[in-house]
Every structure is written in structure tokens, then in C-alpha cells.
Amino acid sequence: MSEIMRADNVSMIFGGLTAVDNISLTMEDNEILSLIGPNGAGKTTFFNMLTGVYQPTFGTITFYGENITKLKPYERVAKGISRTFQNIRLFSSMTTLENLLVAHPKCNSENIGRVLLGGKKLKKARQEIVEECEEILEIVGLKDKEDELATNLSYGKQRLLEIGRALATNPKLVLLDEPGAGMNSMEKEELSTLIRYITQKMDKKVLLIEHDMRFVMGISDRILVLDHGELIANGKPEEIQQNQMVIEAYLGKGMTDEE
Amino acid sequence: MFVQQLINGITVGGIYALIALGYTMVYGILKIVNFAHGDVFMIGGFMGLILAQTTNLPIWIAYPLAMLITALIGVLIERICYRPIRLHGADALAILISALGVSIFLENFAQLVWGTETHAYVQKIQRTAYNIAGITLSNIQIGVIVLCIILMIVLYLVVNKTKMGMAMRATSQSITSAQLMGINTEKVIALTFGVGSALACVAGILVGTYYDAVYPLIGYSYGLKAFAAAILGGIGSVPGAMLGGFLLGIVETLGAGYISTGYRDAFAFGILILVLLFRPSGLLGKKHVDKV
Amino acid sequence: MKKRISRRFIVSGLTAVMAVGLLTGCGSSGKSDTIEIGLATPLTGASAQDGQAIENGVELAVKQANDAGGIDGKQIEVVVEDDKGDASEAATVANMLVQNDNIVGVVGHFNSSCTLAGATIYNDAGIVQISPGSSAEAVSEAGDYTFRTITTDAVQGRYLAEWCVNDLGYHNIAVLYENDDYGLGLADVIQRETEALGATVVAREAYEVNQTDFSTVLTKVAASDADVMIIGGLYNETALIAKQMGDNGLEGMQIMGVDAIYSDALIELGGDAVNGIKLTAYFSDASDSEVTQSFIKAYTDEYGEAPGTYAAYAYDAANIILDAVANVGTDRAAIRDYIADLKDFDGVTGITSFDENGDVIKEPLRMEIINGAFETVDM
Amino acid sequence: MMQKIKKIKKPLAVIGILFLLLFPVIITSSYYLHVMILAGIYVVLSLSLNLITGYTGQLCLGHAAFFGIGAYAGALLMVNVHMNFFFALICSFIISGIFGLLLGIPALRLRGDYLAIVTLGFGEIVHLVFVNWTELTNGPMGIRSIPGPSLFGIELDGNQEFYYLILIITALVLFLLNRLVNSGFGMAMQTIKADEIAAESIGIYPVKYKLIAFILSSGLAGLAGCFYASYISYISPTTFVYNTSVTILAMVVLGGLGSLTGSVIGGVVLTLLPEVLRSISDYRMIFFGALMIIMMIFKPEGFWGVSKRVKNIYKIKAGGAQNERDYESR
């Protein structure tokens, strides 16, 4: 098993508030890793450090052996990290297909000169991009909606589109921020299948943040639990279920496993 | 000469600050730039002139009346020209264009009604100049500075110490949350426009009294400078508008005084750009962090 | 549904307005029984006040001609266009005027920048343009069809300099000028001419048109050892400068200016503060010329206020065109030749002749404001 | 319904193009021709501003400055160095573009209203430099006798020649911008307008796109300026003021942000409308102001907003799946 990503002693301090306190973790190959924890545990902050939205106050982040701590989000995308958002951030005035197209590295890096000159070669290159994106749409199950505006899709479909968009960047690792939020149980079932497909058939790694315990337990190979910015547990789903600290963290805060 | 120029700068700056308050309050609450505010200032100046001149009312009745009318005009502008667009949920640019439309409308309306000429102001206060150690200062100049400072302190207290002020601050944080808390946000917005416009009217009357002139296009340059002052101080911040106004007045006066009068306005905008580059949220503005 | 209707309404309304406007707004271009004079002047924007005075002057000249039976039994009409004091707008207006075949000549523009922008078009079209307000030296070279009833800055500047330095004995001079084509041109001439006479320009400060706060420039003047202040600008700003002098330690300093400040507005706005200002002018209500006096009376009867400098220049400009038409008919080239050869036209701004550049040659008057009135003086 | 529109679209376009081509032949009035030329200049200006404001979402209130820089650069080159008009056109594009870059670099730190005020300040400062740097710009007197274009010794300075020139320039700009905004590059620009954080999350570097948008936009405005200078043959600082910037912005917004067709409509309508309203001269600006308000209340997306955008142009341009499917079904 090789190491994909690791965080070493990462902390994030906003003003006087320590949102993430000295967390270290490693993500191994061939595992679906999940990050859970009660509200305000620092999950999203940690997530944002992995994607580059925040620069950690202390600590380093390594991706396939390369130090990416100082890299900006778009630079991390080039390294192969892509993400979805907790509050959906689609390009709402664009169509479903366009949301994917624009995420495709060959599309958004088109050379201006070539664009202005036009020509057959460009046409052919574009055809390939469109085909690749349509393939991804097929995978996330939105092929029949490809010409709809993103804003007209149902909530659950918008979440799927975000995953599709993340996949279109041709990533090695996909970070999913609460992908199941707002979905009904049937949609969640489909989501699980999709995530497994992504890891097994497309050979992408997945790290996800989730609230829904049942969903997380069902899909994860390993689970990390954050509380008050600290890592309180790390292990297989069964182990986490038994972990006293985790139960306290959740029940003590009056949280149930359903949002 | 330095002290004299400094005093000149403070006087002009006080007026910029009064107008800037209107920009900053509206921006604080609605996050829109009310480009018509400079013209509301002009209308205020004319209202003061007309009421004092034609009705023979004493100025302590005429001027507050003018403020009231100008405040109403401000509220009407919001009601008719901004609210429908706001409630549509349209782009902020749409409101900006509407504001530009209001500005064009008011300027040309004023030209049609009052003509294009410069009007001499009513002088109900005898002007006397004092000469202290080579520095000349007139009673009106002192009055302008003192009044500006008093009004700004009053506004600061209203915003920070009263219930209405609290409602205003809550609305500026988030309109939806404020509504959930039972605040009548539309009333708060109307009040903001009213207060801002009334202050602009005071500024108009002060300019009229101090410089003894008012004309339909006067709002353009004052409006622009006051807007710059609001941004300089940190738009959305009441003390920021005061600081920005005074600073802008002093910088442009000293720049014009010691370097070149031709580039007078360039100093004002130059410092503005510099400040924004190093402190993008203005001198006293809150740093904006994007939530993800 | 309601929204859709209103949208459609706006779009179709707009289209209708534009269609109607394009059909009617641009008027007739065929020959008809009226003679038309074009007038291009700023009716909106910063110079609108002067533009209005110019319109009044031209309308009065035309009205008088019509009351006298017109020319060859034809009535005269004025086609007024607003150039907003903006060069690009001036070009639009000029194009509009030259394409109307009934127009025999154009009075305009006011700002030198507009006159220059329009000049190419008038000269290309071969139609006479007489500016009532552009005194910049560059206008001299604008073309064969470009004339003006106002003298160049150089003429008046030289005269003012002589008066100021030689006759009044001021040697430390402060020049305040508006920061545009007019003010800068005048400031240059005044500096050149006063320094040629041995005086020194100790302060030279610009202000913007429509500025209200003059404390900064006045403080600078106070800090220099100027003993006279010459203004290269118009009446509004001059009045404000005069009024703000006291607050800035310049009580009692002599102000001098040119004909651009000759306007009742100066006195209305400036009140007591403008008493004692000395200026050169061509048009004056104190003139004993019969033409001038009858113009002042007619103007005051018509508009309820006394005419200023620009109304007078415009009145002369219109009358020169009318005179040309009365003598040589409506042929545009003939009109130009007539005006180019015009000698000693007796106008309200003095006896006018044009030199080879289309510039006017005449001697200015010396005036002073005494007790709220313009008076001619010897010193 | 869509079918119907598509059916009449083609003949309509042909008639439109024929009309534009034959305009100077049908209508000989120099005034109409002049207004059309001005409309052309403003269309180029509003198209260029749309690139920054409509597509990339950066509010710019100083567009007249670039228009002015191009005009002055072109005029000075043509008058002082006797450069040919067409070279001057290219030079003003480059010079304005460089200034766009210079403004763009620091301005990138700012967003929305802050950027707007910086560009506004930039516009004011540039105007003041035109006025006060007398040695270079001849100050408020302006620059006179700017020559018209000539090609191989043939003078092209009649109104008709200018008309065809601006027609060609506008068509070319429109053609190229159409390619640009409907490319991957153009889509990337639009993501920055929509949501910068989401854009970064898919690997788009906003700074790059904003800078290029600034350079192209200011360069095109400069090009329009050079043409303007040569056409009017006289320039002075009064043309390149805040009001002009606002007018151009109004064209973009009224036409429709993020729509090239909208910019064309906005540019033409806002040039023609004040001319049409001349017959009610006293009220025309009041009417104009009121119209802006009414439009924003009832039709905030402009005459031709982004909602009328052709979807998935990229796919259509690429001759992608849709066409293939058509082929298969045959």
C-alpha cells in the first residue's frame, strides 16, 4: 500500500480561535477515507486546507510525496486534487454539460491564438473533450439532462453534477464535502454506488466529509473523527462504532446520526 | 501657509464626510453604491435655497424643512427606483445602472427647473473673518467644521447606542436574519436613505452658505469625491466615512497647495488607489473573508 | 404574464419612438421658402449658461430680421443644436447642420475644442461657421470657412497686460485660470505679455470649471507677493473667487479679467465683493454706440435681463450671416467670400472686420465694476 | 416556436447585412452616416467592456481612459511621426493594452465595488494627465489635424470610407470575440464572473483570465480611440471623461451583460436614442435617465441578456455529438 496524501501536524488558527489543532493523518491507496465529526468540529476547515482555500497556520500537507502546503487551489487541481462543495457552487447559468466542459483541463486551458484562428484540429480536439465529458455525465447519471441549465436541476442532481464536474478535471483524488446532504435515501444509495464506481472502475481516490453515520459506515474503508479541532479517533467503521470517545462526542452534543 | 491649507482641507473634508455618510450607510445595509447621492446633495442645496428665499421662513425652520423634503426624496428614490430591482433579486449592476439613471434624471430635471446658471445663496448669517497669527478663519468656516463634527458624532451615537441603530446594524449583517429577528428591514432601509439624504441636504446647505453658490451640476464632483472618501475610510463604516472625508480633503488641498493645482483631483484619487491596494477594505473597513 | 406584457411594451414602444424620431427629428432637407441659420451651442453641461445666452442673441437677431420683413420676402429660421460643450458631440451636430441644404451659415461653437472639432466638417462641406466664443489661437488656422466675432486671446491679453503693467503699475502678477482650452490659452498669453513688459508672474494656478472651493489657490496666491490677480476664466468662478478672497487673507487685492467675465451674473452672484474688478471688453451697456444701445433695449425687453458678452457676440455673428445673405443670396461659397471681404461691420461689439485668418480685429474697452455696475473707465 | 425563429433568422440576417453594406449608397446624408460611424465606434467600445464586465465580471468605470489613451497614442503617432493609420491602429491597441495590464495587475487584488472605484480613479487621473501634461498632449487645446487613413497612397478619409472601415473593424472584432467567448477560454472567464472560488476549484487561475481580459478589453478600446481620433480629426480631453465611461457601461448593461449581441444592440440603441430624442431637446436627458431606470426595473437582464445565449456552443462548434446523432438518425 502506497501513501497518497499526508498531513503533518496541521493547525489552523483564525484570530485567537484554533479551528484545527495539530492534526496528522495519512491516506493510503485503495481506500475510501471519511472524515466525520459533530458541527463545528473543524471538518470543513481541515478540508479547505487540503484543497488550498486556506493555508494552514502550521504544518505541512504532502501529495504523492510532494509538499503542496503553499499551493493555491487551482495549482492543486493541476496536481490532481479536485473537490465538491458543501453549499453547492455550480455555474448556474451554464448547462450541465458546460459545467463539465469548463472543468476539463484541455478545455479551460485552450490557447487564445488557436481559438481565434479556429480550424479543423481545434474542432477535433473539442469533439474529444465533449465526448469525454459526456462519458462522465453518463457515469453520474445526468446524460439525459446535459442541455438543462444547472440551476434547473433538482438538489440531488446538482450534487451529482458537482461530483461530475470534479471528475472532469481528471483528478487522482476527489474530495467530497458532504455529498449526501439533502438527498433522500434512494439517492444516497445511488451515491454510494457512484462513489464505489469512481474508486474501483475509474481508479480515483476519494476522501469525504459526511454527517450521515449510516451512509459513512456503509461506504468507508477507514474513518477519522474530529471534535473541537482535534482528531479523536481513527480506524475501521466497526472500530469507530465501538469507540467511546466518538459516542460521547456525538451523544454528548445531542447529535443523532441523522441530520 | 501650511496651517492655512490644513484648515482649508478640513473644511472641505467635513463636507465630503457628510456626503460620504450617505454612501456608506446605504452601502452598509444594501451593499449597493447609490450613485445618485451626489445629486441628492445638489437637490438638498436647492431646497434650502428655495425655502429660505421664497417663503421668508427663518432658517431654523426653513433648513430643517429642506432636510425633511430631501429625506423624503431620498426615500422615494429608493422606493421607486431601487426596491423593485432589489426585490427581483437582480444583479447589483442593475441597481447601479438605475442609480446612474436617477443621477442623470435629477441633474437634468434641476437644469430644467432652476436653469443652468449658478445661484447665489441666501446669506442670513453675517460673514466675518478673523485673522489669528497670519491665519484667516471665518465664522462660517468654523461653523461648517463644528456642525460637521457634531452631526457625525450624533449619527455615530444613533447607530451604536439606539434601538433603531441596532436594527440598522443587524440589517447590515444580513437582511434575512434581521427579518427573522422581527426587524422591519424595509423600514430600516427607508430610514437609512432618509437619514443619508438629510445629511446630504445639510452638506448642500453648508456648501451653499460657505461658498455662496449652488448649481445643478454641483453634485457631480462632490458626489465623486465623497464616494471616494467613503471607500477610503472603509465603506460601510460610519467613523470610516468621517476619517476618509477629512483625509481626502486634506490630501487634495495640500497636494494642490504644494505640488500642482491642475492635478488637484489626481491627488485625491491617487491616495485612494494606493490605500486600496495596500488595504483593500479601506482604512477602517472590516476585512472580508469568503466563506466556503 | 404581466411582466411579459410590460417588457414587450417597452421594446415596441422604444422601437416606435425611434422610428418616429428618425423620420421627423431630422427634418427637411429639400429647398424651401425659408432661410435657415444653424446654431450649435452648449445647452446642457458645464457651459450651458453661456450657450443659452448665445441662443438668445441669435434668436433676437433673427426675430428682428423677420419683423423687418425677412430677406427677399423669405422668413428666417434658426436650427438650434446642443453640442453639450463636448467635442465629439460637436462633430455630430456639425454633420447634422451641414446636411440641411437650407442652412446658409452656422453660428457656433462656444468652446474652442468644439469649434475645432466642427471646423473640419464645415470646411469640407463649404459652409460658413462663425464662432461667438472661441478665442483660442488655434482657431485661426481652422480653415477658410471658419470665422469668429470674438478676438483671439492674444489681442485681449496683450491689451490687458499693457493696462495692468504699464498704466496701473502692477509688477507681481498672479494668474488664476480655468483648466481648459480657454483658460490655459489665456493664461499663456497673459504670462507672455506681462513678462514681456517686465513684470513677473509670481503665481500661476489652475482651477476646474464649476469648482466651488477656491481656498487652496487663494492661499497660494496670498503666500506669493502678488499685487494683482488676473483671471483667465468666466464670471461664475470669478464671482466666487472675489467672495472667497476675504476668507483667505486677500482682502482688497485688485482683480483683473477679460470680456469673458462681463455678465450680469458676475454682479448678481458676487454682490459687493466684485466691486472694483477691472476688465477689458468689447461689448458694454455703457457704450454710446446707437446699435449697442438698441440691442440692449431689445434684448432686455425680450428676455427680461441685460445681455452679456456672449449674447452680444452671437448677435453680431448672426447679423453678419444675415447681412451676407441679404447681399449675395443663399449660395454658401458666395456667403463665405462676402464675409471674408467684410470691412467695418457696425456691430454691438464694435466695428468688425476679418483678417485673412477669419479673425476679428477690434479695439477693446476698459471697464470697472463700480457700485454694482459695469462702467467704462480711462484707467 | 424555436423552429420558427430559426427559419426567419437567416433571411433577417441577410437583409441586415445587405442593409449595412448598402447604407452609404441608400442614405447619402452625412449626418446619418456620421451617427452610424459613431455607433460603430461605440459598439466596439461596448463589446470590449463586455469582455471585462459582462464575461469576467469585473466592474470597470474607467473605460473612457483606455479609449482616450488609444486616441492620444494614435493621434500623436500619426501627427508627430506620420505613421500610417493602420500601423497606428495596431500601436494604439498595444499601448492601451499595456496600460490595461498596468491597471490590471494591482487591481486584481480588489473585487466588485472596490475595483470599480479604482478604475474610476484611474479614469480621472488619466483625464487629468491629458489636461495637464501640455508638452505631450497639448493640454486642453487638444490635438488638431489628425490625418485620415490612406492605403498605398490612396486617401480614405471620406465619410463613406470611414463607414466601411468601422464596419469591417466591428465585424472583425465581433467575429473574433465570438470565437473567444464561445471557447474554453471564454467559458473559463465566465466561471470567474459566476463564482471565483468554484472556478479555482476546477483549476482555473482567475488572475490569468482577468489580466488577459483587461489587456484585450483596453486594447480594443484603444483601437476604437485611434479610429475615433482619425475620423473626427481632432481630439481633446473633454471626450475621455467619466461620463463617457458611464455611457459605455450603460450600453453593456442595457444591452445585456455577457452577450455580444446585447453589446451591439446596446451600442447602437444608446447612440441612436439621444439623436432621435433631439426633437425634444430639453427633455431628452430626463427621458434618457428615466428610461435607464425603467429598463432596469422591468428588464434588468438587458435587451439581449445572457438567457438568450445559445447553449453548448462549444459542442455545436466542435461538431460534436449532437451533429453525429443527427447523422445517425438519418
- pLDDT at position D125 is 93
Is residue D330's pLDDT more than 60? no
Contacts with C116 from chain D: Cβ below 8 Å? 142, 144, 234, 236
Length of chain B: 292
* Domain end (from A127, A142, A170): A170
Mean pLDDT, to the nearest integer, of B81-106?
Answer: 85
C-alpha cell belonging to residue C112: 474652442
Which of A155, A170, A185 terminates a domain? The answer is: A170
Instruction: Encode pLDDT of C235-259 as tens digits.
Output: 999 999 998 888 888 888 999 999 8
* A49 lies in the same domain as A92: no
User: What is the H or E stretch that residue C318 is in?
Assistant: helix C309-328
Report which DSSP code applies to B79: I
| B108 contacts in chain C (CB < 8 Å) | 44
> Helix, strand, or coil here: A153?
coil
* Residue A72 and residue A199 share a domain: yes
CB spacing of A94 vs D194 below 8 angstroms? yes
The angle at the Cα of B259, spanning B257 to B263, to the nearest 5 degrees, equals 90
Domain extent for A138? 88-170
Mean per-residue pLDDT over chain A, rounded: 86
pLDDT reported for residue A226: 86
What pLDDT is attached to residue C252?
85
Residue where a domain stops, chosen among A146, A170, A194: A170
Q: Please, which residues have CB within 8 angstroms of residue C277's CB and are 6 or more apart in sequence?
A: C238, C242, C255, C256, C257, C261, C266, C368, C369
Least confident of A9-23, A168-182, C9-23, D170-184: C9-23
Cis bond before residue C171 (omega within 30° of 0)? no
Chains C and A share 3 or more Cβ pairs within 8 Å: no
Minimum mean pLDDT range among A164-173, C44-53, C112-121: C44-53
Q: Which residues lie below 8 Å from residue D241, measured CB to CB, with a gap of 6+? A: D64, D123, D127
Q: Which residue has the higher pLDDT, A41 or D206?
A: D206
Q: Write down the pLDDT at residue B292.
A: 54
pLDDT digit string (tens) for B16-45? Answer: 999 999 888 888 888 888 889 999 999 999
- Does one domain contain both A111 and A228? no
- Cβ(C357)–Cβ(C263) under 8 Å? no
Average pLDDT over residues D95-121: 85
Q: Which CATH class is domain C35-151+289-352?
A: alpha beta
Candidates A89, A126, A162: best to mutate against D (most CBs of D within 10 A) is A126
pLDDT surpasses 60 at C93: yes
Q: Identify the chains in contact with D, defined as 3+ C-beta pairs within 8 A.
A: A, B, C
Confidence of residue D43 (pLDDT cuts 50, 70, 90): very high
pLDDT at A228 over 70: yes
* Nearest CB partner across the interface for D320, out of A82, A89, A127: A127
Average pLDDT over residues D220-235: 94
CATH number for region C154-281: 3.40.50.2300
Average pLDDT, chain D: 86
pLDDT tops 80 at residue B287: no
- Asked if the Cβ–Cβ distance from B85 to D297 is below 8 Å, we say yes
From chain B residues 233-292, the ones with a CB under 8 A of any chain A CB are 292
State the smallest CA–CA distance between residue C332 and chain B in angstroms. 34
* pLDDT band (50, 70, 90) for residue C27: very low
Residues in D whose CB is inside 8 Å of some CB of B read 53, 59, 106, 109-114, 116-118, 120-122, 124-125, 128-129, 131-132, 197, 242, 246, 249-250, 253-254, 257, 282-283, 285-286, 288-293, 295-297, 300-301
Q: Are residues A197 and A258 in the same domain?
A: yes
Q: Are residues A179 and A69 in the same domain?
A: yes
Kindly indicate the confidence band of residue D9, based on its pLDDT and cuts at 50, 70 and 90. Answer: confident
Across the range B212-224, mean pLDDT stands at: 89
Examine the pLDDT at A16 and tell me if it is beyond 70. yes
Which of B67-81, C142-156, D150-164, D272-286 is predicted most confidently? B67-81
pLDDT of residue C5: 45
- C132 with C109: CB under 8 angstroms? no
**E-strand spans in chain A?**
3-14, 17-28, 32-36, 58-63, 66-67, 81-83, 173-177, 205-209, 222-227, 230-235
- A179-188 long-range contacts (CB < 8 A, ≥24 apart) are A179/A84, A179/A208, A179/A210, A180/A210, A180/A211, A180/A212, A180/A215, A181/A86, A181/A211, A181/A259, A182/A155, A182/A156, A183/A155, A183/A156, A183/A159, A184/A156, A187/A156, A188/A212, A188/A215
Return the partners of chain C (3 or more C-beta pairs < 8 Å): B, D
Q: B210 with B123: CB under 8 angstroms?
A: no
Percent of chain C with pLDDT over 70: 91
Instruction: State the pLDDT confidence band at D323, using cuts at 50, 70 and 90.
Output: very low
pLDDT confidence tier of residue A151, bands split at 50, 70 and 90: confident
Distances (CA, A) of D217 to A67, A201, D52, D222: 38, 45, 7, 9
pLDDT in tens, B241-277: 989 999 999 999 999 888 888 888 888 888 888 888 8
Domain positions in chain B: 2-278
**Average pLDDT for residues B90-118, to the nearest whole number?**
86
Q: What is the pLDDT of residue D320?
A: 44
- Structurally, chain A folds into a number of domains equal to 2
pLDDT at D321 over 50: no
End-to-end Cα spacing for chain D? 23
Grid coordinates standing for C36? 435657415
- The per-residue pLDDT for C28 is 42
Q: In this predicted structure, what is the pLDDT of residue C17?
A: 52
CATH 3.40.50.2300-classified regions of chain C: 35-151+289-352, 154-281
The answer to whether D42 faces chain C, any CB pair under 8 Å, is: no
Query: For residue C278, what are the β-bridge partners?
Result: C256, C368
Fold assignment, B2-278: ABC transporter involved in vitamin B12 uptake, BtuC (1.10.3470)
Cα–Cα distance, C2 to C7 (Å, whole number): 9
Q: Is the pLDDT of residue D110 over 80?
A: no
Q: Does D79 touch chain C (CB under 8 A)?
A: no
Q: What is the CATH number of the domain that holds A109?
A: 3.40.50.300
Residue C54 has pLDDT above 90, yes or no: yes
* pLDDT for D20 beyond 50: yes
If asked whether residues A131 and A141 sit together in one domain, one would say yes
Nearest alpha carbon to residue C47 among C109, C139, C95: C109
User: What gap in Å lies between CA B30 and CA B177, rounded to an integer?
Assistant: 14
Q: Which residues contact A25 (CB under 8 A, 6 or more apart)?
A: A6, A7, A224, A231, A234
Mean pLDDT value of segment D189-194 = 89
User: Is residue A14 domain-shared with residue A48, that is, in the same domain?
Assistant: yes
Establish if B101 touches chain D: CB-CB under 8 angstroms: yes
For residue D4, is pLDDT > 90? no
Considering chain C, what is the average pLDDT of its residues? Answer: 86
The average pLDDT across C125-136 equals: 91
pLDDT in tens, A79-137: 999 999 988 899 988 889 999 999 999 888 888 888 888 888 888 888 889 999 999 99
Considering only CA atoms, which of D125, D116, D135, D115 is closest in space to residue D68? D125
